[in-house]
Structure 1
Amino acid sequence: MFRCFFLFMLVCLLFSVMAGFAVAAGPSLDEDQPVHLDADQLDYDQQSGEYQAVGEVVLRQGEMTLFADEVWWHPETGEARARGDVRLLDPSGEMTGDELSLELDSGRGRLSYGTIFLRDRNLHVTGDSIERLSPVDYRIEQGEFTTCDGENPAWKFRVSDLEVTLGKFARGRHARFYLKNIPVFYTPYVLYPVQTERESGLLMPRYGYSRNRGWQLSGAYYQVLAQNQDMTFYLDYFSDLGIGKGLEYRYAFRRQEGEAKIYHVSGFDEGENALAIDWRNQGWLPGKIRSVAAVEYVDDEEYFSRFGEVAGEYNKDKTESKIFLSRAWGNRNLTAQLKHLNNLDRDTDRTLQRLPQVHFSSLLQPVGESFLFARLDTTYDHFYRDEGQSGQRLLLRPALSAPFQLGFLEVLPEIGFTQRFYYADEDSSGESGSRWEQKGVFDLGVRMSSSFARVFNGGPGNVSKIQHVISPEIAYTYVPRHGEDDLPYFDRSDRLAHVHRISYGLTNRLTARIEPQDGAAFYHEFLYFRLSQEYDIVESRQDPLNPLDNFRPFSALRTELLLRPTRWSYVNLDSRYDFETAAGDSMKVADMRLEFGANDGRGNDVSASYHYLRDDQEYVQGELRTSFLDPVHLRYLHRYDLVVGRDLEKVLDVEYRAQCWSVFLTLRDRLEDTEFLVTLSLSGLGRIANFGGVLGGGG
C-alpha cells in the first residue's frame, strides 16, 4: 500500500510540475530609447565603431540596466557583449552570469553559466547556456529550475534541455527531480503550460486513513476553461468504500455566477454506490429579478457522516434545495421560491414540501393625505407530501398604523386583520376528500420607544469621546380568542393563539471615538447590552394556588451582551433566565450561548464557547491557532459534552511552512470517525484541500 502511495505521489508531483509554473516576460528593450553608458574607463575604436567600457560598467536603456566588469557596445548594430560579474535587470527580474551577448534591437541574446530569476513567481532557472530567442522564447542547456531560494534549494528539477515559450508551453528532456541533492525520480520528457495567471494541471495529492473510509488517496486535476470558467476533476481511492469520482465546475458570467458539483462512489461490494449533487448560483434575470439557487441531493443516508469533515457536515441529517426569485419596486417586494426537504434519517414521504411559496410585502405607505399608513403581507403556499394532508393556503394581512410623537416617545399603534383561505385534499384525520376553509381574525398592538444619548469627553488611551445611548421600548399585542380547530394544520401560521401580552426591553450602547496618533479617527462600538422580557396577561389571570393552573405570566428574561474591548477581542452572551421554572425544573437558565475570542492579526487567535439548552444539550468548545512556533503553524479544536462527560470532537492541524514548500498534517477524532491526513504543497502548485466527496468544500 505504501509503495503504491509513493509511486502515486511521484506521478502526481511530476504532472503537477508540468502544469505548475509561470515564467514572466524577460528583458524587453526598446531600440527607440537612448543608451547611457558609464564606466571607470571608456574607449572608442574608430575603425570598428565600437565602445569599450572597463570597470564598474553600467549600461542603461529604458527600464533595462546592465552591470558588468567589461562591456563592448556597437551603436550601429545595437550589439552588446558583457563579461565578468554580469547582471541584467528589468522589472520582471534579473539575469546573472559570466558572459552575455545581447542584441538590443531584437532582444535576442545568450548567457553563459548563468541564472534567470523571475520575481512574480520566485522562479530560479540556471543553466550552462541560456539563450533568449525572442521576448517570449528561451532555450536552456543543462539547466535547473526551482521556486526555492538559496544555493542548496529544498527541491529542484534538473534537465538536459529545456525550451520555454511564455504563455504557452515548456518542454524538457531527461528531467530529474531532487530533494536537496538527492535524486528522487527520473522522466525522459516533461511538458507543462507556462502561463502568468491561473494554470491547468494536477493538484498535489492527499493521503490518509479514516475509520469510516479506510486508507484513502485523493488526486485532482484542475483545468482552466476560460477567464471566467474552470473545472476540477477528482479521483479518490478508499480501501473500505471504493472509488470516488468528482467534478466541480465554476463560472462567473456577466449576470450569473456559481458552481456545480457532482460526486459518485463506486463501492467494491455490489449495491454500495453513492451519488451527491450540489449546485449554488446567484445572479440577475431580465426584468431586475434577483435569482438564487441552492440545490443539494444525496442518495445515501450515511453520505455526510462518511465524507463530512467539520461539525455541521458530518452530523447533517437532511438536504434542502431552494430556488429563489425576488423583485423589488421601491418599498414593495415580491418573492417566490421552490423548497424541497429530504430527510436522511427517516421517511420523507410525510415531510411537508412548499412547491412553491410566493410572498408579497408592501412596507408602510401613507394613505392619501391622512395621518394613516398602510402595509400588506400576502403569502401563498402550495403544500405537498406523498403521504398525509396536502393543500393550498393563502394568507393576507393588511394593517393600518398611525405613528406619532408624544414628547420624547415615538408611538406606533397598529391594527391588522389576518385572513386565511385553505383548500385541503385530505383532512388531518387522514380521511380522503377535499374541502375549502377560511378564517379571519383581528389583531392590534402599540409600540412605544425612545432614545437618550450623552457624550463624555476623554477616555483611556487614544479615546477622545464616548457616547452612551439608552433605548427603552415597550409593546402591547392583542389577538382575541377564536376557534381554529377545524382548520387544516400545515405549520404554526395555522394556529394563531389568543395573545394578550406586554413586551418590554432596554438597550444600552457605548461607542468610542478613537484618534490614533498615526492615523485617521474612527468609531468603535465596544458595548451592546440588551434586556428584554414578556408579561402574559392571560397567564396572570390563572390561580397561582391552583396546582392545575400553569401560573407563569413572566417569560424568561433574555440577556444579550456584545463586549468588544478592542477591535481584536470580543465577548458575546445570549441567554434566557427563568424566574418561574416549571415543576421539576432544577435549572432556572433556559438556554445560554457564551463566546469569547481574541486575535493579534498575525495568525494567533483563541476562542472558546459554552452552549446550553435545558433538557437537551450542554457542551463547551475551544479553538486555538498560533504562528508563534513559525515555521510550524498549529490549529487545535476541542468540543466536550458536559452531560455525558465525553469528547465530541478533537482536531489538530499542523503545517510546516518552509520558504518554497509546506506539509500539512491533520489528526481528527470524533464519535463516528477517526482519521489522519497528509498533504504536500510546493510553491506555485495547488493542493487538494479536502476530498472531492465533501459538498460545499473546494479542491
Structure 2
Amino acid sequence: MKHTMQDAGFSPQASRRGDRMQDTAYKKKSIMYHVSCIMYHSFLFFLLLFSVCCLQSAVYCFAEEPPTFITSDSLKYEKSTSMYTAKGSVLVEQGETIMIANEMQYDEKTSNVFPEGNVIFDTPDIILKAEKAEFNLNTKKGTFYNAEIFSKKEKFRVSGEEIEKKGEKEYFIKKASITTCENPSPEWCIKGRTADIIIGDRFKVRDATFHVKDFPFLYTPYLLGPALTERKTGLLTPVFGHTQSKGFYYRQPFFWAIDEDKDATFIVDWYTKAGLGEGAEYRYVAPGNVEGKHWLYHFRDKKAELDFYELKSTHSKRSKDGLSGYWNINLLSEENFYREFSMHRDERVNRFLESTGELTLPSDNSRLYLMSQYIIDLKDGSHNSAVAQRLPELGYVVNPSSAGPLVFSMTSSASNFARDKGVSGQRLDIYPKLSHSFGDRVIIFQNLGLRETVYSLQDNADEGFKSSVHRDMFDYNITASSRFIKKYSENFTHGIEPSLGYTFVPWIKNVPLFDSTELSTKQSTIGMSLTNRLLDKKGEFLTVSVSESYNTYERDVPLSPLSVSAYIPRPFPVTADASYNHYTDRMETINSSVSIPFKKFAFSFGERYNQPNNTMFYDIGVGYTHSKNLSAEVKLWYDSKGGGMRDSSFIMKYLQQCWGMTIMVNRKPPDEVNNKPSEISVFVTFDLLGLGSYSARK
C-alpha cells in the first residue's frame, strides 16, 4: 500500500473559518448596498479591473510555493524528532521537480531530506544522480555524494565525489570530471581537484587535466571555459602542429562573448624554433545591416630577427535608400608573410593583396560614390611596385533609364593614381551611352558611346607622355541574336543560339595605363558566335559554344583565336575551353576540369595550359567519405614545364558525438628566390562539443 504525505494542503478548520468570514462579508455588503449603490458598483468595477490585470500578467496573483508530496511503500513518523522515514520507491514531487530514492528521511521542522540509494534529482534543466544526498526542499540547496549531473540543454556531464548545489544553477564539485560525451567511458574529459560550475554559463576548474580516454594529455593550474553549447567566454580548444623549419607549433585561443551582438577572440601562437605570435579578432553586428570583423596579428621571428604584422578589417553598412559604405582592408608588413606562415595554398600563391573602401549615396536612378583601392604586390623584391593605387576616386553613375525609344546610361569619375615607379597622376573620365533594341525572332541591340578622358600626369618624362594629356573616343556596337529550338521527342530537344556583332572604334590615342579604362583599342571588328544546347527530360545535358572575330584594322593578324567552350552537367560535371591561333597553327590555351563521384570516392582533375606564357599546370584531387564520421581528401598541384611537384595537401576529418578532429598535412614547394627547400607541415585541430574550436590560421 502506498503512503502519501502532503506538506501543504487542505484544512477543515480553515474551511469553517472561511464560511464564517464569507457570512460576515455578505452582511457588510448588504448594508453597503442599502447605504450607497454607487459605492457598490465602484467596488464591482474595481474588482473586475483587478481580475483582468491578474489574467493579463505573466504570474498568478497571490502565487505560492507549490505543495510537496512524498509517496513511498512504507512511511513512519517519529513525533519526538518530527522525522518521517520513508522506504521503498520513495518519490518527492514539488512542482516540476522530483526526487527519487530507495529510502529517505524527512525533517518536518527544517524541510531537510536525506535520501539514500539510487538517488535521482530531476528538474526541467538537469538530472542529478547520486548514492546519497542532504537537501533542503525550501532553499533548494544541498550536497550529493558520488554524484553526476547531466545538463539537458547543454548536454554536459559533470561528476564528482561531492556535488554541492549552491543555487538554482550553481554547483561546487570536489574531484570533478567534465565532459559532453554520452558514453560511460568518455572519449575526452576535463578532470580537476575542484570545479565551480554555473549550468548554461561557465565552469572554473582548479588543477585541471585534459584526458583523452584515460590518458592525461594537458595540465593547467586553472581553467575557465563555457558550460554550454552556445557562444560563451572561455578558452577554446588548442591547435597543435609541426613544421620542418619552425618546429613544434601550439595555438591557444580565448573567446570573449562581449554581448549578443559582439565578441572577440585572442590567440597566442608558439613555434619552438621560430618564436611567438599573438593576434586578436573582433566581430560585431548592429541594427541597420551593419556588420564588421577586424583581425590584427604579430609574429616575432627570432631566427630571422624580423617582425611580421598582418591586418584584416572589414566593415559594411548596407542601405537601399540612404548612405551605404564598406571597407575591406588587407595589409602586411612583409610580402613573404603568407608564404612563410599560411597553411592555405590560395594565400601562398596569391600575387596581389587588395584593400578597398567605398561610400555610396543612391538616388532614384543613379548613385554617387567615393572609393579607394590599394594593392600590394606580393612578389619578392617588389617593394617599388608599378601597380597603380587608386587614392581616391569620386564617381557618378547613371543607371540605364528610358528616354523615349532609347536607353541612356553614363559612368563618370575623377581619380587620383599613385605608384612607386612609373607614371602617376589624376584622371577625369566621362562616358555616356545610348542603346536601343528591337525585334522578336531576331533581336537587334545597338549602343553608341562617347568617351572623354583628361589626364594630369607626374613622373611622365621617362615614358614619353606630356604632363597634360587628352583623349576622346567614339565607339559603336551592334549585335543581332536569335534562338531556334527543335523538339525531336519527349526525351530530346536541340537549341541553337547564333549571334553576329560589329564593333567600331575609329581612333584611339596612346595614354598611360592605370586600369581597364585605358584598354580600349582601335578596331573595326566583326564577331560571330554560336551556342548549341541539348536537353532531355531532366534538363540541359550539353552546351557547346564557338566564337571568333575579325578586325579589319589588324592587317597582319585580323582573325582572333578561335574559342571553343563546353559544359556537361550530367552524370558528372565537365567543363572545358580552348583557343586556337590560325597564324601559328597552335593551340594557345586549353583549360579543363572534371569531377567524378564514384560510390564513396570523389575524383577531380584540372588542367591549365597557356602557350604564350609557356605554362602547363595540373591539379588532381581524390576524396573519400567512409561514413558521416570519417572523410579524407588529397590534392596535388603539378607543373609540367619544369617546376615538377608544387603544392600538395592531405585533410582528414573525424567526427564523433562529442568531439571532432581535423588533421591537415601540407607540402610547400621549394622557394628558389630565397633558396629554401620544400617543407612539410602538420596541423591538428580538435573540436570538443561545448568548448568550441578555432582554426590554425586566420
Common fold by TM > 0.5:
yes
Decide whether aligned partners of structure 1 residues 560 and 109 sit closer, same or farther in structure 2, where only a CA change above 3 A counts: same
Q: Which has the larger radius of gyration?
A: 2
CA spacing shift, 1:398–1:450, aligned 2, 3 Å: farther
**Where do 1:183-202 residues align within 5 Å?**
194=227, 197-202=230-235
1:651 to 641, 646, 649: 649
Aligned mates of 1:253, 1:492 — CA distance in 2: 36
Determine the structure 1 residue equivalent to 2:684.
679
1:401-440 to structure 2, matched below 5 A, reads 401-406=435-440, 408-425=441-458, 427=460, 429-430=462-463, 434-440=467-473
Q: 1:534 is matched with which residue: 548, 563, 567? A: 548
1:356 and 2:392 matched: yes
In the alignment, is the contact (CA less than 8 A) between 1:640 and 1:649 conserved in 2?
yes
Residue 561 of structure 1: how far off its partner (Å):
1.1
Residues 311, 331 of structure 2: 8 Å contact kept: yes
CA deviation after TM superposition for structure 1 residue 169, in Å:
5.9
Secondary structure at the counterpart of residue 304 of structure 1: helix
Query: How far did 1:305 drift?
Result: 1.2
Mapped contact 1:424–1:434 kept (Cα < 8 A) = yes
Provide the residue aligned with 2:529 in structure 1: 504
Deviates more, 1:200-209 or 1:45-54: 45-54
Q: How does 1:113-512 map to 2 (within 5 A)?
A: 113-166=146-199, 170-172=203-205, 178-181=211-214, 194=227, 197-254=230-287, 255-268=289-302, 272-284=306-318, 288-345=322-379, 346-367=382-403, 370-406=404-440, 408-425=441-458, 427=460, 429-430=462-463, 434-450=467-483, 452=485, 470=495, 472-485=497-510, 487-494=511-518, 495-506=520-531, 508=533, 510=535
Q: Is the 8 A contact 1:223 1:231 kept in 2?
A: yes
Q: What do the CA deviations read for 1:280-332 (whole angstroms, capped 9, x no partner)?
A: 22224896233221212223232221112222211233322211233333443
Conserved in 2, the CA contact under 8 Å of 1:647 and 1:670?
no
Q: Distance in 2 between matches of 1:56 and 1:166?
A: 29
Closer/same/farther in 2, CA of residues 212 and 291 from structure 1, 3 Å limit? farther
In the superposition, relative to structure 1, how do residues 178 and 511 fare at CA in structure 2: closer, same or farther (>3 Å)?
A: same
Change (3 A) 1:604 1:442: closer
For residues 334 and 279 of structure 2, the distance between their equivalents in structure 1, rounded to whole angstroms, comes to 16
| Structure-2 separation of matches of 1:286 and 1:365 | 18
Alpha-carbon distance, 1:51 to partner: 8.4
Q: Which residue of 2 aligns with 1:621?
A: 619
2:615 paired with 1:581: no
Residue 97 of structure 1 pairs with residue 130 of structure 2:
yes
Aligned-pair Cα RMSD in Å: 4.0
Q: Is the contact made by 1:679 and 1:687 (CA closer than 8 Å) also made in structure 2?
A: no
The offset of 1:639, in angstroms, is 1.8
One-letter amino acid of the counterpart of residue 140, structure 1: I
State how far apart, in whole Å, the 2-side matches of 1:60 and 1:270 are.
70
Match of 2:664 in 1: 666
Aligned to 2:608: 611
Q: Tell me how far apart the structure 1 counterparts of residues 463 and 397 of structure 2 sit (CA, whole Å).
A: 34
Look up the equivalent residue of 2:502 and give its one-letter code.
T
1:22 equivalent in structure 2 = none
Cα distance in 1 for partners of 2:570, 2:95 equals: 53
Structure 1 residues 626 and 411: alpha-carbon distance in aligned structure 2, compared to 1, 3 A threshold? same
| Separation in structure 1 between the aligned mates of residue 219 and residue 349 of structure 2, nearest angstrom | 45
How far did residue 531 of structure 1 move? 0.9
Secondary structure, in 3 states, of the residue corresponding to 2:232? coil
Contact 2:665 2:681 in 1 (8 A): yes
Matched AA of 1:249:
Y
Does the 8 Å contact 1:206/1:677 carry over to 2? no
Residue-by-residue CA offset, 1:96-123 (whole Å, 9 max, x unaligned): 1233454444432433332111234432
Secondary structure at 1:402 match in 2: strand
**Relative to structure 1, is the Cα distance of residues 180 and 425 closer, same or farther in structure 2, using a 3 angstrom cutoff?**
closer
Deviation at residue 632 of structure 1 after TM alignment = 4.9
Q: Deviations over 1:391-441 (max 9, x none)?
A: 3333333233332234x2333233332333333345464468622423232
Letter paired with 1:362? V
Query: Which runs of 5 or more residues in structure 2 are unaligned?
Result: 1-62, 671-677
Match of residue 590 from structure 2: 591
Q: String of CA shifts for 1:73-106, please: whole Å, max 9, x gaps.
A: 7999876654433323344331112334544444
Alignment of 1:78-97 (within 5 A): 82-97=115-130
In the alignment, the residues of structure 1 paired with residue 549 and residue 230 of structure 2 have an alpha-carbon distance, to the nearest angstrom, of: 63
Counterparts of 1:471 and 1:449, CA distance in 2: 8
Rounded Cα–Cα distance in structure 2 between residues aligned with 1:357 and 1:397? 15
8 Å contact 1:396–1:418 — kept in the other structure?
yes
Query: In structure 1, how many angstroms separate the alpha carbons of the residues matched to 2:213 and 2:93?
Result: 37
**8 Å CA contact 1:282, 1:291 repeated in 2:** yes
Matching residue's letter, 1:341: I
Provide the identity percentage: 19
Could you tell me how far 1:353 is from its partner in structure 2? 2.0
Q: 1:447 to 1:142 in 2, by over 3 A?
A: same
Are the structure 2 counterparts of residues 34 and 503 from structure 1 closer, same or farther at C-alpha, using a change threshold of 3 Å? farther
SS of corresponding position for 2:339: helix
CA shift digits 1:493-541 (9 cap, x unpaired): 334322322333325374867xxxxxxxxxxx554624141331527x9
Change (3 A) 1:421 1:204: same
Taking the aligned partners of 1:449 and 1:75, their CA distance within structure 2 comes to: 93
Q: Specify the alignment match of 1:4 in structure 2.
A: none
Corresponding letter in the other structure for 2:665:
L
Task: Determine the C-alpha separation between the residues in 2 that align with 1:262 and 1:423.
Answer: 38
CA distance in 2, matches of 1:94, 1:599: 46
- Which region of structure 1 is more displaced relative to structure 2, 101-110 or 335-344? 101-110
Higher helix proportion (structure 1 or 2): 2
- The match for 2:145 among 112, 119, 122 is 112
TM-score (norm 2): 0.77
Contact 2:619 2:637 in 1 (8 A): yes
1:312 match: secondary structure = helix
Aligned in 2, Cα 1:419/1:623: closer, same or farther, shift over 3 Å? same
Change in Cα spacing, 1:80 to 1:530, as seen in structure 2 (3 Å) is farther
Q: Are the counterparts in 1 of residues 226 and 233 from structure 2 also a CA contact under 8 Å?
A: yes
Q: How many residues align?
A: 622
Task: Check whether the contact 1:428–1:489 (CA below 8 A) recurs between aligned residues.
Answer: no
Residue 571 of structure 1 deviates from its aligned partner by 0.9
Q: Which amino acid in structure 1 is aligned with residue 126 of structure 2?
A: G
Shift of 1:492: 4.9
SS at match of 1:134: coil
Q: Which has the higher contact order (CA 8 A, sep 6+)?
A: 1
